[in-house]
Amino acid sequence: MIKKFLKRKEQNYAVVNLNKNFKENSADDKFWIYCDSCKNETFRKDIEENLNVCPKCNKHYDYSARDRVALIIDENTFSEFNHDLEFKNILDFPNYEEKLYKYKNSTHENEAIIAGTGLVNKIPVVLCVMNPKFMMGSMGAIVGEELTLSIEYAIKHKLPIIIVCASGGARMQEGMVSLMQMAKTSQALSKLASEGLLYVSILTNPTTGGVTASFAMLGDLILAEPNVLVAFAGPRVIQQTIKQDLPKGFQTSEFLLEHGFVDLIINRHEMKEQLFNILTLHGYSCIKNLEKEGDLIACTEH
C-alpha cells in the first residue's frame, strides 16, 4: 500500500531542455548588442553610430529605408514623389486592410517603398528604396506602380536610377496582380536600357522571391552589401526539386559574386562614394551651381 502511494506518477507535462546559447532579455539589452557573428557584446550606440555595422567584425545589421536615403543622397536634396496611388483590395483578401493599417502606423510609411529624386555628390538621380519593415518589403500593385512611374520619370528626364532592394517577394494578398508587377517593372527597365540610361541595383538583406526574379537582378551594375541573403525560393524547396545537395552559403552575396551574379560587394560606409564613382564613369556630371540650376533641375517637376 505504501509502495503504491510512493510510486512516482506518470508525467503529464513536457520537459524542455534550455538552449545553452539562449540569452535572456534584460535591461542591459537596450545598451548592448550581442553580435552572433563575432560572439562579442558591443555598446549599442557604437553600432548605431557606425551605420548599424558591427565595428568588430563588419556584420551589417538591418538599416531603415529612411536611413538608406540619407546615406546615399546629399543632405536636403531628396524630393519624394507624390503619386497619390489608390489602394484596392482586388481579391477581397481577409484582413488585408487591417494589416496595411497596422504597418502604416508602425512604420509611419504609406507603402513598402520610398521613391524620389536627389543628388549623389551633386549628381541628380532617381532613387527607390524598398522597406522590409513594411510587410516584409513585399511587392504589390502600388509598389510595382511606384517603381514603374519612377523608371518612366528617369527616362523622361534622362536620369540614372538606383534601386535599393530588400523584399520578401511578391505580396500574397494580391495574388496574380502582384506577380504581374514582375513583368511590368522588367518591361519599364527594358525601355530605360533602350534609352541608354543607367540602372544600378543594390541588394540588401533580404532580397528574395519575385523581386529577385525581376528588377533586382536586371541592373547594369548589381551591387550588394556583405553577407546578404539573395534567393528566389528557400533551400529546402530547391533541394526537394532538384534532388541534389546544395553548397554551403549558396544564397549569399559572396557566393553570387564568386559565380558572376553580383558585380561588387560594398561596405555600407563606402556605398555613396562608390555610387558617385560609377555615375561619373558612365558620363553623369555634377550640378556645379545649385542656386543657378534650381533645386534639382527637372527633378522638382513631380
The span from the CA of 42 to the CA of 51, in Å, is: 14
The span from the CA of 10 to the CA of 265, in Å, is: 58
* C-alpha cell belonging to residue 214: 525581376
- Neighbour-count burial for 136-172, b at 16+ CB within 10 Å, e otherwise: bbbbbbbbbbbbbbbbebbbebebbbbbbbbbbbbbb
The span from the CA of 188 to the CA of 151, in Å, is: 6
**Closest Cα to residue 171, out of 163, 181, 161?**
181
Per-residue DSSP letters for 75-96?
Answer: TT--EE----PPP--TT--TTH
Domain with 43 in it: 18-61
Q: What is the full per-residue pLDDT of the chain (302 aa) written as tens digits?
A: 555 555 555 555 555 555 555 455 555 577 898 988 898 898 999 999 999 999 989 999 999 999 999 999 999 999 999 888 989 999 999 999 999 999 999 999 999 999 999 999 999 999 999 999 999 999 999 999 999 999 999 999 999 999 999 999 999 999 999 999 999 999 999 999 999 999 999 999 999 999 999 999 999 999 999 999 999 988 888 888 888 888 888 899 999 999 999 999 999 999 999 999 999 999 999 887 655 444 454 443 44
The two beta strands, 79-80 and 161-167, are unpaired
Give the angle 52-58-62 at the CA atoms, nearest 5°.
Answer: 35
Reported as half-sphere exposure (CB side, CA atoms, 13 A), residue 113 has a value of 29
Same domain, 162 and 255: yes
Is residue 2, in this structure, part of any structural domain at all?
Answer: no
The span from the CA of 268 to the CA of 272, in Å, is: 8
Same domain, 113 and 208: yes
Is residue 7, in this structure, part of any structural domain at all?
Answer: no
Is residue 102, in this structure, part of any structural domain at all?
Answer: yes
Contact (CB, 8 A) for 211 and 229: no
Same domain, 140 and 46: no
Is residue 280, in this structure, part of any structural domain at all?
Answer: yes
Per-residue pLDDT, 236: 82
* Residue count of the chain: 302
Is residue 52, in this structure, part of any structural domain at all?
Answer: yes
Peptide bond preceding 55 in cis form (omega within 30 of 0): no
Q: Is 177 helix (H, G, I), strand (E, B) or coil?
A: helix
Whole-prediction pTM value? Answer: 0.85
Same domain, 101 and 25: no
Domain count across the chain: 2
Q: Helix crossing, 175-194 with 141-156: angle to 10°?
A: 10
Same domain, 91 and 154: yes
For 119, other C-beta atoms within 10 Å of its C-beta total 23
* C-alpha cell belonging to residue 127: 532613387
Is residue 6, in this structure, part of any structural domain at all?
Answer: no
Same domain, 96 and 55: no
| Residue 122 CA: distances (Å) to CA of 3, 272, 289 | 88, 12, 9
Domain limit, last residue, from 61, 88, 115: 61
Same domain, 109 and 221: yes
Per-residue pLDDT, 106: 95
The span from the CA of 161 to the CA of 192, in Å, is: 9
